[in-house]
Amino acid sequence: MSETLVSVQDMKVHFPIKRGVFFDRTVGHVYAVDGVDLEIKRGETYGLVGESGCGKSTLGRAMLRLNEPTGGKMIFDGQDFSSLKGEDLRKMRRRIQMVFQDPLSSLDPRQSVESILVEGLRAHDLDKGKEETGKRLRELLSAVGLPSTALRKYPHEFSGGQRQRIGIARALALNPDLIVADEPVSALDVSVQAQVVNLLEELQEQFGLTYLVIAHDLAVVKHISDRVGVMYLGGLVEEATSEDLYAEPLHPYTRALLSAIPVPDPVVEDRRERILLAGDLPSPANPPSGCRFHTRCPWRQQTRCDTERPALRELKPGHKVACHWAEQIQSGEIQPHEVKPILVEEDDGISPDVPLVGPASVTEALNP
Amino acid sequence: MALLEVRDLTVVFQRKGEEPFRAVDGVSFDVEPGQTVGLVGESGCGKSVTSLAIMGLLPKRGAKITGTVRYDGTDLLKLSDKEMRDRRGRDLGMVFQDPLSSLNPVVPIGLQVTEVLERHRGMPRKEAMIEAKDLLDKVGIPDPNRRLKEYPHQLSGGMRQRALIAIALACRPKLLIADEPTTALDVTIQAQILSLMKELVQDLGTALVMITHDLGVVAGLCDEVNVLYGGKVVEKAMRHKLFAEPRHPYTHGLLASIPRLDAAPGEKLTPIKGSVADNIPWSQGCAFAPRCPNALDVCVQVTPAEEDQLGRLLRCHNPVVPGTPAAEEVPV
Ligand SMILES: Nc1ncnc2c1ncn2[C@@H]1O[C@H](COP(=O)(O)OP(=O)(O)OP(=O)(O)O)[C@@H](O)[C@H]1O
Ligand SMILES: Nc1ncnc2c1ncn2[C@@H]1O[C@H](COP(=O)(O)OP(=O)(O)OP(=O)(O)O)[C@@H](O)[C@H]1O
Ligand code: SF4
Ligand code: SF4
Ligand SMILES: [Mg+2]
Ligand SMILES: [Mg+2]
């Protein structure tokens, strides 16, 4: 289980912000993903959590090359996936599949389930004649818990949970090594979420799959993942096994996030202490200097926090954190204090009259 | 007598060429000042329709409302549109899931707050401006002076929701109905808003009806909880009782199917089989029967009646016996 399947190295995705009559002037960038390193081992589930807009989906899409990264690369099973072209890229693509949040918008409403599934097979020359393909389709449906009569039906004839099963069958059809699931259960009713979570777990066992599960619900991610990465404004702030992360969160943001998640148990809820963060998430187009969390961090210090971007470093075996003061916070030497909320601009943080000049990223500014 | 008494509230939608649809089917609950009552259930169980019916916001055509909604002794369902509009600004406040659709997009936030203050509390403009600034400050909006002049689209989702709460607070409502007020927000923002609502109830004695699908939110906030399924309350109890010993198979199933942050590693989830699409009509038995691990033959023949079981209301022929393990895991 220790063989590395995926290695993401200094991944960056910066979206240009265009202005002007012809949208021909670049006035700044959205630093959606800004220097992420992570490794996923074969057979494990890596969970990526963080709040809306922190760059989770963009990172997932960049790994699949659905967005071309601005910088960095992904090594997949020993090969540099980022530089593959043509036939090699197409071949490798089969091995990495994606499951989306909203199954309805990711399934063509005019195609029957059969044609949705066969289409994927054909694109990768896996359609081996009527009989064999028919057998394969029935296997797939049974693996995701749908009757074979589903083949002739259309996506709208299914409930949300069933549609998600179709999406999973489509990904599974190509015998992938890695499945990137972006919010696979967040559009589903609570009572149905567990069906899909359990299905993903069973399929992993059955087919030896590796998962990258992206979700904003930390309880779901903790349940399903072996290891978890916490993102804030385009960067990883903490990474640990899901047990360690829950038992001993080291980053102030992770602490706040964990303390904010409601637990369906009044006894626990009454006892809990919440770390309430002040204000909103800053705009990724105009990220705070230094530690990106410093504008909301209750442990923020006078030095370093607003000037120096903390690197992700290993504090204990397998437990990484990006905070200058993690040791002192953990030992209690540094205590939290009150934070006044600061104003966050809802537009992209860039006034059209003041064109942004300067480095394309904070990391660039730090290492010229 | 409670501040709000909802009795047998029923909403039937009649669309052309379709069977009448009972979205809310005999719902009853009380809310006292300083108390929070939760309505919880999954998508389509009638939570929003219940709140809209109470607030008099359902379309007049196509929706037949029966039952009573007594507020401070007056049946709100019998009031004229004008009387209801008056009440809504003054005694009854409401916060919706999507703040953008309930804020006026072309009026600055400040004006939307001061308007309420002028109309319902008869404040002169100047005084209202000062009060509005205080309100925005109170709900945690930074730089309120500047925000007063801005339009809803210039605020983030969390700030808009706060602005909406500020507007609801402006009239110092005795009753506040919050329909999924935090569902669209991030958890750290949700925590801020929920703590604000708690303060409201504790400090001002506001009566709060909290509508959500999140059992975690209910566990921390509500005194009494109503679990809805297919338009009916299937279980009602005080929160500690409900969560410690869920007796209705649906409540029980919901709790077994959500991953808990504090669960032991490797703990399995037990989903409820099927989806709400499998329901049968209540007129034929129990709507939950096709999904229920406890179902008996009688469940598809006789509609279960609401029974009082030691301070807990239950609508079930074969409730879960406390202390027994969760029902067999259903095949997925
Ligand atoms: N194609 C694009 N062009 C410009 N900006 C983009 C684009 N795609 C995403 N962004 C921006 O990049 C940031 C990260 O977005 P992303 O969708 O990755 O976030 P996320 O963590 O997946 O959030 P959510 O939980 O809401 O799905 C956001 O500020 C978003 O607005
Ligand atoms: N104006 C309407 N006309 C006809 N049917 C309606 C109308 N409004 C709601 N319904 C139906 O009534 C049922 C209950 O809807 P309601 O909006 O109360 O659900 P909800 O519990 O609030 O769900 P959600 O969690 O998705 O918000 C649904 O089946 C819905 O389709
Ligand atoms: S580096 Fe400073 S601001 Fe950032 S998380 Fe650590 S203490 Fe907080
Ligand atoms: S009445 Fe029957 S079907 Fe309905 S919840 Fe109770 S046991 Fe299950
Ligand atoms: Mg996303
Ligand atoms: Mg609703």
pLDDT per residue as tens digits for the range A29-75: 999 999 999 999 999 999 999 998 899 999 999 999 998 899 999 99
- Identify the residue whose tokens are 């470093």: A313
Q: Break chain A down into helix, strand, coil percent, rounded to 5.
A: 35, 20, 45
Q: How far is the centre of ligand 4, averaged over its atoms, from the C-alpha of B288 (Å)?
A: 6
Residues 214-253 of A with CB under 8 A from B: 216, 218-220, 222-224, 242-243, 246
Ligand that lies nearest to the alpha carbon of residue B61, given by its number in the listed order: 2
- Residue B239: closest CA among chain A residues belongs to which residue? A266
Ligand that lies nearest to the alpha carbon of residue A49, given by its number in the listed order: 1
pLDDT per residue as tens digits for the range B181-239: 888 788 988 998 898 889 889 998 999 999 999 999 999 999 999 999 999 999 999 99
Q: How far is the centre of ligand 6, averaged over its atoms, from the C-alpha of B163 (Å)?
A: 20
For A189, the closest of B42, B189, B263 (CB atoms) is B42
If you average pLDDT over every residue of chain B, what do you get?
A: 90
**pLDDT in the model for residue B102:** 77
Tell me which residue has its CA closest to atom 3 in ligand 4. Answer: B289
pLDDT per residue as tens digits for the range B253-298: 999 999 999 998 888 899 999 988 899 999 999 999 999 999 999 9
DSSP A139: H
User: Taking CB atoms and a 6 Å cutoff, what residues make up the pocket around ligand 2?
Assistant: B 13, 21, 23, 41, 43-49, 59, 213
**pLDDT in the model for residue A84:** 92
Classify the complex by whether its ipTM is higher than 0.95, answering yes or no. no
Residue B298 at interface with chain A, using a CB cutoff of 8 Å: no
End-to-end CA distance of chain A: 38
* In the predicted structure, residue A352 carries a pLDDT above the cut 70: no
For A263, the closest of B188, B189, B216 (CB atoms) is B216
Q: How far apart are alpha carbons A327 and A50 in whole angstroms?
A: 23
HSE-up of residue B261 (Cα within 13 Å, Cβ side): 22
For residue A324 and ligand 3, the question of a CB distance below 6 A is answered with yes
The pTM of the full predicted model, rounded to 2 decimals, is: 0.90
pLDDT per residue as tens digits for the range B130-159: 999 988 887 878 888 888 888 888 887 778
Residue B187 at interface with chain A, using a CB cutoff of 8 Å: yes
CA quadruple A18, A24, A26, A32: dihedral sign: positive
DSSP A129: -
Q: How far apart are alpha carbons A130 and A136 in whole angstroms?
A: 10
**pLDDT in the model for residue B144:** 85
